[in-house]
Amino acid sequence: MSADFSTLAEFRALLADAPSTDAKAKGEAEDRNGQLTKPPGALGRLEDMAIWYAGWRGNGRPSIDAPQVIVFAGNHGVTAQGVSAFPAEVTEQMVLNFQHGGAAINQLSKAAGATMDVYALSLDTPTADFTQEPAMDDAGFLEALKTGWDAVSPDADLLVVGEMGIGNTTSAAAIANALFGGDAEDWVGRGTGVDDAGLAIKARVVREGVALHGGGDGLDALQKLGGRELAAMVGAIVRARSLRIPVIMDGFICTAAAATLASTQDGALDHVISGHVSAEAAHHALLGKLGKEPILSLGMRLGEASGGALAINILKSAVACHSGMATFAEAGVSDG
């Protein structure tokens, strides 16, 4: 499979022309939900999630049988500024751990019955230091978007995307600051565990990057302040939309990447649900800006799609109840 775009302008056009939810299937799901053997609203948000999923799959009585988890990895030139407690080599080491099945995301994907794929994006060539120049040039940005687009299986019926990349909480904070304003300190957190001095460095780096690259839309911010793994997640999210595959969003970094789509095109994240709110300081605020209510809140801050993967079974349960429960008529139960 090859990406359906060869220029950034063509990618933007695909985003602008992305399909919408299937109103007929959504209406059928709503009607079915009203006939199931339970009091109205008794399953809370599970009902809303099942109806949302049905609309995007174009099936009023769907099932989730082929979830896909994709982890993208990239290295960041801005780590030279001292924004991380870990060296950049850890990115490649963790990729090997993913490939050998030894990471948390391997276990969570397996528990959810999901396939898991890992893509390392030019780890030996970090992006540029965004305090000095754009993180990616046009060619590099386009290549990362294409990697994400091509990674999505057309046979998947649910997608979770995640990342690994030392320094990428700084990129995510810079993107959030560029898109939503405020002070740099509002968006930076301790990431992998930086001390107070490291936190101050992150805030300075974010301020400098946003001052240098302010202006433009969300995709401009992604190219100038992001990383290859963030861009790949964006490419995957847009590809999933084109295939009507619902997406579960992971943590702060994934949410910042996705926010660039929402800031570029209204409704770009209608097919996306938030898997969890992480312990990274600004994630809750960022979800609020996007109007996304997380499924889980467990104090996680691992990244690598872990929170999104964990939420797969919640969504599976919602859809299973919706499609598998009997109606009042089928069960011979009086409908009060």
Among 92, 133, 304, 330, the one annotated catalytic? 304
Q: Which residues contact 19 (CB under 8 A, 6 or more apart)?
A: 241, 242, 244
304 part of the active site: yes
Please provide residue 249's backbone torsions phi and psi, each rounded to the nearest 5 degrees.
-85, 145
The DSSP code sequence of 197-229 is HHHHHHHHHHHHHHHHH--S-HHHHHHHH--HH
Task: Report the C-alpha gap between 40 and 322 in whole angstroms.
Answer: 13
Q: Which two tokens stand for residue 152?
A: 């999505």
Task: Report the C-alpha gap between 206 and 129 in whole angstroms.
Answer: 11
**Residue located via tokens 């999505």:** 152
Q: Quick check: 200 and 111 in contact, CB under 8 A? A: no
| Residues with catalytic roles | 304
